[in-house]
Every structure is written in C-alpha cells, then in structure tokens.
Amino acid sequence: MALNNLSERSFWIVSPNVGNQSKYWTDMSIKHKAAFMGWGPNQRRPHNQIGYKFAYIVRPGDILLIARRHHNKPELVGLGAVVDTFRTHLTGLNPKRRFGSLRLLRPFKSLVSTPAPNGIIQVLRQHKALRELKPQNKKHRSVCVWMQRQLGLEAMVPDAHPNPAPVIRLAPLHHKGEPEYEYRTRKQVKTAVRKENRLVSEYQGWLGRSGRKLNVVSYKGLRCDAYEQDRANLIEAKCATTREYIRMAVGQLLDYSYLGEEQFDKPNLAILVPKRPKQALLDWLATLNIYAIWKEHSKFKDNAEGRFT
C-alpha cells in the first residue's frame, strides 16, 4: 500500500483499562462498538492532555485500536473507524463506572480472539491511555496497514471523503487588471451585517432561556460577535454557509483566539450560521477544532455534542 493512502487518516491506540477496570470496559467497547476514555474532554490545556486529544484531535475517519500491553503481552479488544464527534452519553448505555468521553466506531471489529500482528508489542511498549501511530515510522506502518486490512478499508479510503477532491491546477500569476478579490457594495455589506446581528440576537435569546449569557469581545479595534464566558465559547456569525463566508470566519476566529490568548486562554471556537453547512465544510472545520452552530426551526444545534447549545 502506498504511504499516501495511509496519510489520509490518522491511527490511534487507546487503552481499555479505564479506571483500572479493563474487563468491564472491554465488554462495553464490544457491546456498544465504541472506545472509551477515562479522562474528561474538558482537559483543554495544555493541548496535549489525553482527554482533550481523544475528544477533539481524533477526527471522524481515523482508526482507533483498543488495546494495551499486559504482563508483557498484547491484549487486543477491538478496532474501528471513528464516526461523528465525541459523546459523553449513549442511548442504551448505563455504565456502572465513570468515564470521560466515548467515540463510536463504524465499522467495528472485535479482536478478542484474533492473533496479534507481528510488531504490535513494540508499539504498545508505552503505558499511555492514548497514543498516535505514525505511518512514516516503519514499525508503526505495518500495524497501520494491518488495522486497515482488518476493517477492509483499503479500498474504501476514498469513502472517508465522500465529496470528490477538487481539481487543482497551476496557472500563471495574475496579470495587471485581472480581479483578485470579490467586490461587495456598501449596501451588500450592510445587509450581511444586519442578518448576522439578527442571527446573534436570536441565538442569545435562545441561550437566555437556559440562563446563559453572551458578550461582545473587542480586540485592539477588532470585534468578535459573541463570547460565552462560562463555557469559554468564542463565536463568529456569518449570514451564509458558502465557503467564502466560512473561510472568512475561520480567519477571524483564529486571529481573535490568538489576540485574546493571555486573557481567555484558548477558547472553544464556532461559527454561527443560518443553516447547517455542507458536510465537507464541517469536516474541514473539524481539522481546525472549529465547530458550527446553526438554526433549525426555533432551536439552535451544533456539531460539538451541545457545547455551544
């Protein structure tokens, strides 16, 4: 398999030994086809905290192997491809033990009776709750290839990205007189601002029913649309979900987050829009740890397990 095929997703090993209850969480993982993490998802700082990485850095499409090294032997539980964002609860799951978050795995394969592949003990040598495998590493690569084969995903790699990749071409530099940006009239700008202000106002009113409050944040002459202090949520509103508006919001959020780092640390970032963006845009935003909030009838929804709603 070519290395660039492996690079389309990330590979992780997560321990089944949550709270020193390996047998219990092994059974839960197989029953619910999910991986569980003992550390909570709100361990936001620093970014290398395991609970935070499991919830926010592991992306849909990544492959998770539930395994550990026990008595110097590999103990395999199961593996699968991550779907959706992290969860803290699941229908039908009434755990007798506490955990931080979970990731659903589809497809999923139980490995309880499967022979361990060659070299697996070497990648399990460190006792960590979560570890990323690097296909560039020869020892890691063989395990990554084995993981994909177990799930039958080698021929399905493109399915992790259902929208066809855009055709990218090289062209000469712009010549003088050619437009390099989209021009908007003053009236168009005012209309967009009015729609965004109305959207923020509706979102604030909806949050207010739960006793939550939004503030406007100013940064050295710049202004971000909304900040919810209790949950450290920084939000930029846009009047449309086309790529040009989403790109603009991404740049603004990253800039605001950087400028306010000393006072607000690293906030949770989201874009407030009138409707749910296309999945391709949500997938791209997920790689940047940026989420979306959208209006659906009289309610607001997000793709961050309710962090912004």
Kindly report which listed range (99-108, 230-239, 263-272, 295-304) carries the lowest average pLDDT score. 263-272
- Per-residue pLDDT tens over the stretch 218-238: 876 777 889 998 888 999 999
- What whole-number distance in Å separates Cα of residue 14 and Cα of residue 4? 24
> Which tokens in the block code for residue 216?
């406007």
Q: What is the pTM assigned to this prediction? A: 0.51
Which DSSP helix (H) or strand (E) runs through 34? strand 34-37
> b/e for 150-169, b at 16 or more Cβ within 10 A?
bbebeeebeebeeeeeeeee
- What whole-number distance in Å separates Cα of residue 6 and Cα of residue 9? 6
> Which tokens in the block code for residue 29?
């993982």
At residue 259 the predicted structure's pLDDT band, cuts being 50, 70 and 90, is confident
Residue 98: DSSP 8-state: -
At residue 7 the predicted structure's pLDDT band, cuts being 50, 70 and 90, is low
Task: Specify the higher pLDDT residue, 262 or 239.
Answer: 239
Q: Give yes or no for a cis peptide into 74 (omega within 30° of 0).
A: no
71-80, 89-98, 211-220: which has the highest mean pLDDT? 71-80
Domains and CATH numbers, the chain: 3-159 (3.10.590), 186-302 (3.40.1350)
